[in-house]
Structure formats: structure tokens, C-alpha cells
Structure 1
Amino acid sequence: MGLDGTYGQRAADPGQAVVPPQRGVAPFDLGAWVNAPRPELAPGVWRLNHRQRSEADREAAAVPAGPLLWRAALNAVVAWIVQIYAPDLVWWVIDLLGLRDGMGAGVTTFLALLVYGLVLAVVIRVFGRMGRWLEVWRRWVAPLLARTVTREEPAPDAEPAGLTDPWAALRLGGAAEAARLLDARPVGDVDYVRIQRAWETVHQDPALLPAFTEQVAARGGAACAHPSEARDLAGRGPGHDLLTRQVRLGTAQDVVKNPQAHRATGFALDPSLLGTSLLAVGPAGTGKTARLARPLAEALCLQALAGTACAVVLGSAEADLGPDDWYDVVIAPGDPSSPYGLDLFGAAAEVEQAAARLADALLPDELAPRGEAARAALQQTVGPFHAAYGRYPGVRELRALLGGAAAAWQTLRQTLDDTGRLAPHEADLQHRERQHGRADDPGALLADRLALLDRPAFAGHFPGDGPGRPAFAMRVLDHPLRVRVKLPERSHPEAARMLSRLLTGQFVQAAGARTERALFAGLVVDDASAAVDAQVVRGLQGMRGANAGAVLLLRTLVDLPEALRTALFGAVGCRMAFPGIAPWDGKLFSEAWGTHLVRETAVTHTPDTSGGMFRKAGRGLRKALSGTAAQTESVTVRDVERHRWSPSDLAHALPGGHAVISLASVTGDQVPPLLVDLRGQ
């Protein structure tokens, strides 16, 4: 990796040319941020400044304020009454035993003080414990006194001892001058992580040390900058910790269904969880985009600026996935102002793989059974064209060839013959020419599908048909790029579905084929109803070991072919259900999350027939007077298996602004489903 955060050359990828406006770096306490506690916790727990709750805190939090105050007041009243009458009872016992006979006045006074003191101590001990007076003092009385009586705010925590020098690695590694310069310059969290990552490269290759020091001397906190020169995101939200690479999405609720370690803690995601991919299902209006997709897109873009990730974000042009200046490459097919186009064959270096991926994307779900013949037809067309011209065909050229245009095929054959490459492709040409005009020709089907992209609105957006925009190719995932694709779902809905399927498949294919996997490759798809096919499902599992992951949002699982639903659930590690999902969707979540043991108490009432004649007569009299028969009560406690979350709970019991999510990390750690409040961080 170079000092600019890229691998190898940096001028080849289209993202380099885009330079978003630089936002000023606000004052930032780097030392406090670096030294803030980040304990090792269970997956999904927000680590920054986390305070582990003690068992006493958990027990106290389990008691609501109302019952706690009522119990404290009731015990105080009883304690007051006991304090009044208990000393008289003690004196009566003393007199009964004759212990005061012959005592002098001084001894009697001492004994009285001892009696009153012992009674007071016993009363406070017994009733204070039952009434939890210490908890009431800690929760309400002490803070109230601090504010109203002494008019002093609680003292801040003492400065922790043994603070870590943020630039200790540089000083110890021979870059003390660079560390001194950085101490005197403003440095943000993105800058710090980026410079530390560049220092790791210098540590591996000491020959880069002079260049590193020169960069720091010349640019300070902007040293080793991202190719876009951006150091932060405009309008950045809270809840990002770039040291742990976590993004906080909400708070895990303090309920029995949640595991103890996650109750009342911040909920966060990071690449170790996203690396297993995440599937989120919920109807429109439940906050999937605003509370999940946008924060994750923002986190990936920040990590890209820090040199630790690359981000590809897919969604409609209207979806709020961040402003354009968050991204290096903005692709908007059908929009004349779009600065970049899209390479339809940009996922693989091998011609046949790229052609096969395009064929899968062109066919809708209902035509998937013809996929194998379509892949073969496209490979037999693209392969000879690439051999003849050294490039991939444009949309119009490919449509003409697949449609069997005689002039196009004659020109292709003549070009292959002139360049001496006809022989290896003769069989493919003959096979395709025999298929032309037949009713079952997959080429004609593909040509009809390509017609959706061969529209005036898309002119210049796809390479190959003359001059156009610089084209983004998915194979550049080893660079810290930030890519936003705006799909034309309103103006060209079927073309948008096709492109969504193509780009998702290309990402999965390219992420798994990367040789340099230091960067986390993240994909966020705002509406994945058309993006998932069998090839994508198979590829999701392989991304776990490739330091890559996908976040797929769906309105309902019914949007997917039935054969893919269970397979998709098995392919992703993190599953998220939003309020209002359909019961049939909830059934899949419920089955995936399994069951757990629940202690169930059953109370049975039966007529009381025990005892002799007198007890039976008494029960008969009671029945005659009250109209109710005496009964015995038997209690049975047993452990039974119940669904962690039933389909009915997921469909009807989830409150608004919440979600239930289960987690799995790339290291194999599992977290049962958590109820999370997503309305605040």
C-alpha cells in the first residue's frame, strides 16, 4: 500500500479525479479520544467509554421507580412506628426481669441511651434493607442535594493515570520529528487513523520513512491523504469510532429477551460483523434507510477516508444515502449530469466470467431456468468480439450481434480473419449463426432485454458505443473508493432492477477475487428485491474470508423467488427484522433464530377433599355461607422450549423505531436476537 492509502498505481481508477470540497477540521481533543476506554466486549456492544454495570446496578435497574419509592416510603412509616413503641417494649422486658432494681441515675441514663441506640440501629438495618433506602439515596437524594443544597455539580472523573501518547509508535520507530510536528497541528479522528495506517506501511518498508516525514512536515494532519483530499464528511453524524471501526445505531433494550451482556448498552456494527453480511427486512416507512443504510454508508465512507475500507452504495436516486460529496464516484444512469458511466463487464478480468455475470443480470427471475443457455450465448458472442477488437462490445453492438444482424456478424468474422484469430472462435461463431432465427434462441431473448438499456436516456452511460463518460469498473475494490450508484427506479424501473442485479453480482464476484484484501469492501443495497439471485447467494458465503460484506434491505421476502429465501437466510450471518413485517416473513426469522428454554409455572386448582369429619363440615359451612368451595392449589414449574421471537411477536408486538437483530462475526461468535431501539444513539 502506498502512503496515499492506495495499492499500486493511483491514477488508474476513476475515483481519483473527483475532489470533494474540503471541510474545515473542527477542534478535536485527540489525546482524550485515543485514551478513552474501549474494553473488549461481546459483538454488537458499543465499546467507546463503555461502563460495565455491576450486578447491583442490574438488580436496581430491574425495579421501576414507582414501586421502589412506594416500598421505601412504606418501610419508613413502619420504621417510625416501630421506633416509637419498641423502646417501651424493651423497658417492659427489663422491668419484668428486674434488671433496673438498684440502678443509679447515671446507669439508668446510660442504659436508656443504649436501648434507644440499639433499637434505632435495628430499625434502620431491617427496614432500610427492605425499603432499599440506599438505592433511593443514590438515585435521587444525593444528586438533588448536590444541585440544590450545595449548588455543586458532581465532580468530574479524575484524569486517568498513565495516558498513552497518540504518536508513541512514531517516536519509538524513528519518526520523532514527524510526531513532534503532528503534536503542533490539528488532527482529527480520520486523520489519526489514516496516518497510523500509513505508518504501518512505513514500518513494513523503512525506505518510505523520508517520504512519510516529508509529507507530515508539509501537510500536518492532511499527510498521506485520501486521493480525494477529503479529511471528513460534510454533515457527519455522531456515533462513529474509527479506532474500533464501530458505528452506533441505537441502544439494546433492558428486557428479558435480550442477553444479559447486551441489556441497556449501546448497539453498534463493525466490519467483523458486516463481513458475514446483513439482511434487513421491513415494510416501507419503518426506518431501514434512515436508521440503517445511511449510517452504515456514512461509516464506510469515513473508513474509506481513513484508508481502511472501500464502499459501494446502491439505491434509487431519491433514497437519502448521503450527499454526493460523500462519494468519489457518483453514477446516475439516465441522468445527463452524471459525471461517470458504468462498465457492464467490470467485475472480472476474464471475458467469459464477465459475460456470464451480465447474462445473469439481464434475465428476470421468471426466466432464470434459461440462464445456462443465455450464459453460453453471451460468452459465444462476447469472446470473439473481445478477441477481434481488444475491448468489450457496447450495448448497441452487443444487441445487434445477439439479435442476429447479418452485417454485424459478417464484420466480426472479417475482423477476426484479418487479425488471424478466427480459428479459435470459429466453433462459437458457427453455433451462434445456427441459432439465429430459431424460436428458442437465447440470443434473441438477451437482445430484447438489452433493449431496455439501449435507450436515448442512457446514451454515453455505458462504454463501447462511441465517446462517453469515464466508466467505473467494479474490479477496483482494492482502492479506498466511495461509490454511489443512483438507479433510475422511477423513469426506467426494469432497467434499474437489471442494473441492481448486475452491480450486486459484480461486487460479490470482484470482492471474492481480490488479491489484496487489507481494505474492507462494503456493499449497501437500499432495495435488494431485484439484486439477489442464485449467484449472489452462493457468493455471500465466500466473502466472509475475503474481508468483504453486503448489507441487503428488503421490504418483504416475497419479493424474492421462493427457492432463494431459505438459502439467503443461510448465507448471511446477521438478520434484522423491522416492525410490521408480514407473518410469513416472521416465520423465517423465527425458525432461523430457533428456540430456547423458558421456565414455565402452571397453577392448578382442585376441590379440597382432605381431612376428617370436622374439616369437611367446616368446608361445607363455608360453601353454604360464601357460595364458593374450598380448593387446593398445586404449582408446577418446568422448563419448556419456546421460540425466541415468534412470528406473531415480530409482526405485531415490535414497537415503532425498534428492530430485532441477531449477529454473527467472521470469527464465529454468535449473538442471539436483540431488541434494539434505533431512534437515538
Structure 2
Amino acid sequence: MGEDGRRGPQKSGPEHGDRPWRPVRPTQPPIGPAVPPQSRGAAPGAAAGAGQGGVEEWENPFVRWMRTPRPEAGPGIWRFGHVPRPPDQADRMSDRQLLGGAALALISGLLVWSLCWNGVITIWLWPLDWITLDAWRDTGAMVAAGYLYYGLFILLLVYVFGRIGRWREVWTRFLEPVLSAQQPDGTQEDTEAEDPVAWPELRAAGLVGEAEVLGGAARGGGMNDVDLARIARAWESVRARPDRLRAFADSVRRDGPAACPHPSGLRDIGRRAYRHDLVTGQVRIGAAPDDKRNPYAYRGGGIALEPALLGTGLLAVGPAGNVVSDRLTGPVAELLCLQALAGQAAVVVVGAAGAPLGDDDAYDVVIRIADPSSPHDLDLYGGTADPDEAAALLAEALLGGDEADWAHARPAVTVLGQLIGAYQSAHGTFPGVAELRGLLDGDRAALAALRRDCAAVAEGAPEDGADPFAADRAVAALRELDARERQLSRPGDVGARLAGRLAVLDRPVFARFFDTRGRGRQFSMRALEHPMRVRIVLPERTHAEASRVLARLLLAQFTAAAPARSDRSLFAALVLDDAARTASPESVRAIGRLRAAHAGVVLGLRGLDDVAEPVRGPLLAAVGCRMALTGVSTWDGRHFAEAWGAEWVEAEDVTHVPDVSGGLIRKLLRWVRQVFTGTKAMSRSVTVRTVERERWSASELANTLPPGHAVLSVTTVDGERTPPVLVDLHH
């Protein structure tokens, strides 16, 4: 059931032909209702609910998880149970100093008042004597004025010694929290109105019965975090389109927490390895140590990623084994798969076999390139019907990896467009790998056969219902073929170069893949308008160069398809576990345009050496989130240091010079000391100045990062930035 309560997907299928998309169901049964893993592993203090008191919160961890506060915090801070640090923590006085000073001020104030009251200090009475006459001294009005005067003087003493002893800060730090904890939080009605278990949004819309159904499922253990996020997402669609209200209500009454399901019918993935909070859409990747190099607000808190950050793009560099997969691409892939089940995202995860990117049953579509048992195939042209767009995507895949080939990119698009367009005019489909390779290589027989087919279409009479412009396109294709044959005789023709790059895909192991005649179940990036979970396994161990070509092809297809979606409510993401040799000037520009399309890419690299030198800086500038893990080289660290920039800090310069001050006696004593100790008396001078220094230098990134740590900076889609934060990836 879709978000509006209707069965099945809402749009036509993304596969070739008119067949609707049907995700492959795993062989295992769907996972039943489960408590979110993070609620079981959270500390008791963090998991304590803010709702009504009683036994219920302690008997049902899912209810505690729902009621756990998630305060607003800076970008990248794990908000589940987060406790903001008090302001100015570094500069405030210690508790002992504050209480000691307050006590000393109180004793001093009492001592002054005692001396004044006993007549030891009489100067405080002089103003009263100056303004009164002797005849007034014994009157009742004078007695009342005297007590008023005493009260004003006491208030003056309290104000003066209160300022000296900082009594106001003592009240704010120690007494006010105690009194606030003892006061009632509000009435029972106010508590229920803010309790997420009661579904106040549905009650406010008049869906009281539906709110009771969902609240009962949450209290009874029949709901999980994916159900909560999925129904919340469906409710957002109802608020955007009120005509869906009735279908939504019917679905909730009929199916309860299983309402508005994902097209696969699943309510959870099989096995979770990371901590998630689907209320905020975050996945925790580590914690920020209490280090002076970290921003104050981040110290001691958890660090998390979410679509609001991934929408700006993320680049992670870590050469140590599979640390990028274990600590970054794996958690992000699992988060996006959960959000896809909740109807919030569509994700394509690309990596080698064995990479820790989740089990196959966590995905709807699994494509194993070069594996005959793969149930799905990959569309070589990304689902487009435009030959020029197909030519641009394929040219990026074939020539985007090497700097020496970038100068041939534009001629390559022209050549591919000529041949692909002519083949489409003659046969109605795009050419397969073998056919396109032969045409690019200048096979005279293949070109002659294509010319005959185009001529037959141009000369044939149009049939009823046929495309009336097919003949015109065939005539234009003949002119393109004439131009292509003239280019074959010229030196430096790019066709041979393209044919050589395409040859890595024209292998027997890939024979059943990249079919263009609709004989297989093909996946294309045009399917990203559905909440899909796609896993593409590349044969990096046996066909490394072909895997690089396919990775570039998938990146080009994604950056072209994501902005072209008609419905951008889903967050679309591409996770490339190994993005080596995928960056080119065109792909870097395309990554920068994804932010406005509610889409993003996650790129993992073992080192920046896998990126051509001219685009290393532009790639770091195009992504909003940058991550350097333990083991980066000083060369890689230099690029990160330049991207993170510098900041103004106070530096102390200490100078030691021989002490020559004083008279004869002091000089004599210093001489005697030098004779017996062998050291000269030195004077020390300190100069404090403001200087500009790198936030993290290349040497620090390469040499001082502890194992299992990383330095991460993030940017939100709204433009809010954070300085680089040291992250412990083990917590």
C-alpha cells in the first residue's frame, strides 16, 4: 500500500517496457515487530522517557525510545538523548571556588552588620542624623522611619556582598535546578497532548480512533521504528494532499502499525549492525572526544549523519583496510535502506563482493555483474530514450577516468551520438555492447548493414499508427553515418579509443548483461522515484577495469537521473564504496548540482591518488562533508588542510634572556649561584599575539590521528557549516 492507502506503487514501473516494478522478496519471512537496537543499548539516563510516570515506560523499551528527548543541536550531533553542554563551560568558576567565595561573602556581610548593630561602626547612621531634628527622635513616625532606614541598609549590604560572592550564580547553578525538578511539569492533559505515543497530530485532525490504534500498538510491542517513520511519512503526504486522508485512515484502521506499507511488504531489514534513530533520520558513526581541538559544543557528544548532510555530498578517504566500509558507507547504506522501507529515500549501493554493505535481503534489487545467477540486469543507457543523453553518459563512463582522455570527451559524445542515434532510427532500440563496439571500431560490414537499415526506414511507407517522423530521422541518420565514415579516415579519430575502452565490457562473462532488447529484468536509475533499495556488486577482483567503467557509468547515470525526477520528495542517494577513478570535471560539476535536487552521493576512497590531480581540489570543494580517516598520507592531508582553511588563535611566544637587573648585591648573588650551579639566571618574557593557523595541518592528519579515529566536517543543505571535528569511530 502506498502512502495514500492504495495498494501497490503509485507510478509506472521503471523497468524496460510497461511492466511495473516488483521488488524481489527475500526468501526469509519479514521481520516481526522489534524494539530499535539503539533503545536497548542506550544508557539508562538517556533512555528515561519524558512522558507520564509509571511502570509502562520501564516495561516497554519502544515507548521509552519514542519519548526520549531529541533536542535541537548543531549539524552532525547525535540528537537521541543528547544533553547540550552548558555555555561557557571552559571559563566558568569551579564549584568549590564559587561556593567558597559565596560563603566568605556571607560571613563578611554578617560581620559588618553585627559591627554596625552593636555600635562599633556608626558611620552608617550619619545620613539619618543629618536629616532629622532632635524634636523628632522620640516620635512614632521616627521609629518607623528608622526601621525603614535599617531595611534599606540591609538591602544595600545584601546587594554589595551578593555581587562579591556571586550569589546569583550560586542560585542558578545549584538551587534553581532542584526547585525546577520538584515542580510539576503540567496537567495530565498537557502531558498527553505532547506525548508522541498518543499521536497528537492525528488527534488534532480528528482521527482519534486511528491514534488509539497506533498508540495501543506502540504500548503493546506491535510497532517498530520503521513503522513509526513510515506512518509519519504517510501522514506528511496527507497534509500535503488532503484528498488522501480517507485512504490513510482506512489503512490505519485495517492494518494498524503495518499501514501504508513499502511495496515489498517488509517492515524491517533482516539484521542491523549500527545505531539508528529514524525519528531524526540519523545514524551514529562515533563520538567526539573531549579534545581541545574539537568545537566546544561537540565535545563528549555523539556524531551522526543524516540526509540533510548527505545531500551536500560526502567524501571519505581512509587507506586502512575496509575502515571506510565499516565506519562510513556501511552505516549510511543501512540507514538509507531503513528510510527506503519508511518511504523516505531511494538508495543505490555500489561495491565489491564481500564489502560490509548489508545482506542481500536488505535490498529489493540485487545486481551481481558477471554472475550468471544474478536476478537483475543493468541498463547500459540509464533508461533514457534520448540518444544524445545516452552518448554523454557512455562517453563519461569510457573516458572519464584518465586525465589524458578528457580532451576527447566532446568529440566522443558526438561520435557516440551519431552511431547510437542511427541505430535507434533503424531498429528502434539502442545498440548492445558488441554492436556498438563494432561500429566504433569502423567495421565496414557493420556500418554498411546499418546504412541499409536506415535507408529502408527512410524509403518505406509509414504504417498506420507508426511514428510519422521515423523516415525523417532515418534520413538525418544517413547524413550522420556519412560524416562518421569521413571521420574514420582522419588521424586521431576518437572512435578507436572508445572501442578500446568499451572492449572491457565486451567479454563472454558479461554476455547476458546490458541487454537492450528488453529480454531481462533491467534496472535503471529512472526508478529512483520509488522508495527502492538497490545493491550493485561489481567484479573488482576479477575485472578491475570493467568495474571502474561501470562505477563511472553509474555515477553519471545517477547525477543525470536524480535532478530529472518529477517527484523529489524522496531523498535519492548513491553510495560508492570505492570511487577510485570516477571523478572527472563533468562528474564533479554534476555532484555540485545534486544539492538542489534532494539527492546526494557518498564516495569512499582509499587515497586521493585515485583521483586525477586536476580534480582533487574541485572534488573536495564540490562536496559539503569531508572525512579523513586514520592512515592518510601527508599529501592527502595537505588537500584536506587547504579545504578546511585556517582560524585565528592566540599564540604565546616565550623568550629567555640573561637576567642583568638589580644592584651590586643581586648581581653578586647571581654570580655565586652561577659558580656553584653552572647555570645563569634567566628572565622570562611572554608575548601573546593573534595568528592564523590551519585547523588541522597535513602533518597532524598523517601522524597524530589515533587508530580508529577520523576528522569530519559537515555542511547542511541550508548552508550551515561546522569546523572539522575529531571523531572516535569506536563509540
Q: Give the TM bin, normalised by the shorter chain.
A: 0.7 to 0.9
Residue in 2 that maps onto 1:169: 201
Deviation at 1:657, TM superposition (A): 0.5
Return the match for 1:51 from 83, 94, 114: 83
Q: Report which stretch shifted further, 162-171 or 593-602.
A: 162-171
Deviation at 1:389, TM superposition (A): 2.3
Q: Report which stretch shifted further, 380-389 or 11-20.
A: 11-20
Return closer, same or farther for 1:423/1:59 CA change in 2, 3 Å cut-off: same
Provide, for residues 624-668 of structure 1, a one-character-per-residue CA deviation record: whole Å limited to 9, x for no partner: 333333222222222222211111110111000100011111111
For the residues of structure 2 that align with 1:382 and 1:456, how far apart are their CA atoms? 22
Residue in 2 that maps onto 1:147: none
For the residues of structure 2 that align with 1:661 and 1:12, how far apart are their CA atoms? 36
Return the match for 1:277 from 300, 313, 330: 313
Contact 2:5 2:244 in 1 (8 A): no
For the residues of structure 2 that align with 1:559 and 1:189, how far apart are their CA atoms? 39
Contact 2:578 2:603 in 1 (8 A): yes
For the residues of structure 1 that align with 2:579 and 2:357, how far apart are their CA atoms? 15
Deviation at 1:61, TM superposition (A): 13
Provide, for residues 398-428 of structure 1, a one-character-per-residue CA deviation record: whole Å limited to 9, x for no partner: 1222223333333333333333322222321
Contact 2:384 2:390 in 1 (8 A): yes
Q: 3-state DSSP class of the match of 2:80?
A: coil
For the residues of structure 2 that align with 1:62 and 1:388, how far apart are their CA atoms? 83
Provide, for residues 159-210 of structure 1, a one-character-per-residue CA deviation record: whole Å limited to 9, x for no partner: 9972424422223324333323323332211111111221222333333333
- For the aligned residue pairs, the C-alpha RMSD in angstroms reads 2.9
Tell me whether 1:292 sits opposite 2:328 in the alignment.
yes
Q: Report which stretch shifted further, 178-187 or 276-285.
A: 178-187
Return the match for 1:372 from 410, 416, 425: 410
Provide, for residues 119-167 of structure 1, a one-character-per-residue CA deviation record: whole Å limited to 9, x for no partner: xxxxxxxxxx9xxxx9xxx9xxxxxxxxxxxxxxxx9x99997242442
Deviation at 1:514, TM superposition (A): 2.1
For the residues of structure 2 that align with 1:41 and 1:509, how far apart are their CA atoms? 34
Deviation at 1:359, TM superposition (A): 1.4
Residue in 1 that maps onto 2:431: 393
Deviation at 1:674, TM superposition (A): 0.4
Tell me whether 1:538 sits opposite 2:569 in the alignment.
no
Q: 3-state DSSP class of the match of 1:353?
A: helix
For the residues of structure 1 that align with 2:264 and 2:253, how far apart are their CA atoms? 20
Q: Which amino acid aligns with 1:295?
A: P
Q: 3-state DSSP class of the match of 2:714?
A: strand
For the residues of structure 2 that align with 1:619 and 1:403, how far apart are their CA atoms? 91
For the residues of structure 1 that align with 2:705 and 2:551, how far apart are their CA atoms? 30
For the residues of structure 1 that align with 2:495 and 2:592, how far apart are their CA atoms? 32
Q: 3-state DSSP class of the match of 1:632?
A: strand
Q: 3-state DSSP class of the match of 2:529?
A: coil
Q: Which amino acid aligns with 1:164?
A: D
What's the % identity of the aligned pairs? 47
Return the match for 2:352 from 281, 301, 316: 316
Residue in 1 that maps onto 2:214: 182
For the residues of structure 1 that align with 2:446 and 2:671, how far apart are their CA atoms? 105
Return closer, same or farther for 1:446/1:238 CA change in 2, 3 Å cut-off: closer
Return closer, same or farther for 1:477/1:359 CA change in 2, 3 Å cut-off: same
Contact 1:286 1:579 in 2 (8 A): no
Deviation at 1:504, TM superposition (A): 0.9
Contact 2:5 2:250 in 1 (8 A): no
Deviation at 1:4, TM superposition (A): 6.6
Tell me whether 1:494 sits opposite 2:545 in the alignment.
yes
Contact 1:10 1:16 in 2 (8 A): no
Residue in 2 that maps onto 1:676: 727
Q: 3-state DSSP class of the match of 2:683?
A: strand
Residue in 2 that maps onto 1:609: 660
Q: 3-state DSSP class of the match of 1:218?
A: helix
Q: 3-state DSSP class of the match of 1:477?
A: helix
Tell me whether 1:443 sits opposite 2:495 in the alignment.
yes
Contact 2:14 2:527 in 1 (8 A): no
Q: 3-state DSSP class of the match of 1:268?
A: strand
Deviation at 1:303, TM superposition (A): 0.6
Contact 1:4 1:224 in 2 (8 A): yes
For the residues of structure 1 that align with 2:304 and 2:715, how far apart are their CA atoms? 13
Return closer, same or farther for 1:425/1:62 CA change in 2, 3 Å cut-off: farther
Q: How does 1:123-522 map to 2 (within 5 A)?
A: 162=191, 163-166=194-197, 167-185=199-217, 186-285=222-321, 287-346=323-382, 348-363=384-399, 364-365=401-402, 366-420=404-458, 421=471, 422-436=474-488, 438-464=490-516, 468-522=519-573
For the residues of structure 1 that align with 2:349 and 2:259, how far apart are their CA atoms? 27
**What is the TM-score when the length of structure 1 is the normalising length?**
0.82
For the residues of structure 2 that align with 1:398 and 1:304, how far apart are their CA atoms? 36
Q: 3-state DSSP class of the match of 1:311?
A: strand
For the residues of structure 1 that align with 2:5 and 2:611, how far apart are their CA atoms? 41
Deviation at 1:506, TM superposition (A): 0.9
The alignment of Structure 1 onto Structure 2 pairs a total of residues equal to 593
Contact 2:3 2:248 in 1 (8 A): no
Deviation at 1:467, TM superposition (A): 6.7
For the residues of structure 2 that align with 1:471 and 1:597, how far apart are their CA atoms? 55
Residue in 2 that maps onto 1:634: 685
Return closer, same or farther for 1:467/1:165 CA change in 2, 3 Å cut-off: closer
Contact 2:284 2:305 in 1 (8 A): yes
Deviation at 1:546, TM superposition (A): 0.8
Deviation at 1:216, TM superposition (A): 2.2
For the residues of structure 1 that align with 2:9 and 2:22, how far apart are their CA atoms? 13
Q: 3-state DSSP class of the match of 1:664?
A: coil
For the residues of structure 1 that align with 2:93 and 2:564, how far apart are their CA atoms? 50
For the residues of structure 2 that align with 1:25 and 1:60, how far apart are their CA atoms? 48
Q: 3-state DSSP class of the match of 2:723?
A: strand
Q: Which runs of 5+ in 1 are unaligned?
A: 76-128, 139-154
Return closer, same or farther for 1:568/1:616 CA change in 2, 3 Å cut-off: same
Residue in 1 that maps onto 2:622: 571
Tell me whether 1:38 sits opposite 2:74 in the alignment.
no
Deviation at 1:607, TM superposition (A): 1.9
Provide, for residues 265-311 of structure 1, a one-character-per-residue CA deviation record: whole Å limited to 9, x for no partner: 00011111111101111213261110111000000111111111111
For the residues of structure 2 that align with 1:453 and 1:623, how far apart are their CA atoms? 82
Provide, for residues 313-372 of structure 1, a one-character-per-residue CA deviation record: whole Å limited to 9, x for no partner: 111112121111111111111001111101111164432012111012112413222222
Return closer, same or farther for 1:174/1:460 CA change in 2, 3 Å cut-off: farther
Q: Which runs of 5+ in 2 are unaligned?
A: 36-59, 101-164, 175-181, 459-470
**What is the TM-score when the length of structure 2 is the normalising length?**
0.76
Return closer, same or farther for 1:294/1:401 CA change in 2, 3 Å cut-off: same
Return closer, same or farther for 1:323/1:612 CA change in 2, 3 Å cut-off: same
For the residues of structure 2 that align with 1:630 and 1:403, how far apart are their CA atoms? 85
Q: Report which stretch shifted further, 296-305 or 197-206.
A: 197-206
Q: Report which stretch shifted further, 37-46 or 191-200.
A: 191-200
Q: How does 1:17-28 map to 2 (within 5 A)?
A: 17-20=23-26, 21=28, 22-26=30-34
For the residues of structure 1 that align with 2:677 and 2:381, how far apart are their CA atoms? 87
Contact 1:293 1:524 in 2 (8 A): yes
Return closer, same or farther for 1:562/1:11 CA change in 2, 3 Å cut-off: closer
Residue in 2 that maps onto 1:599: 650
Q: Which amino acid aligns with 1:458?
A: F
Deviation at 1:224, TM superposition (A): 1.0
Contact 2:85 2:297 in 1 (8 A): no
For the residues of structure 2 that align with 1:268 and 1:497, how far apart are their CA atoms? 30
Tell me whether 1:618 sits opposite 2:674 in the alignment.
no
Provide, for residues 92-111 of structure 1, a one-character-per-residue CA deviation record: whole Å limited to 9, x for no partner: xxxxxxxxxxxxxxxxxxxx
Q: Report which stretch shifted further, 620-629 or 471-480.
A: 620-629
Contact 2:320 2:631 in 1 (8 A): no
Contact 1:330 1:338 in 2 (8 A): yes
Q: Report which stretch shifted further, 421-430 or 43-52.
A: 421-430
Q: 3-state DSSP class of the match of 2:650?
A: strand
Contact 1:347 1:507 in 2 (8 A): no
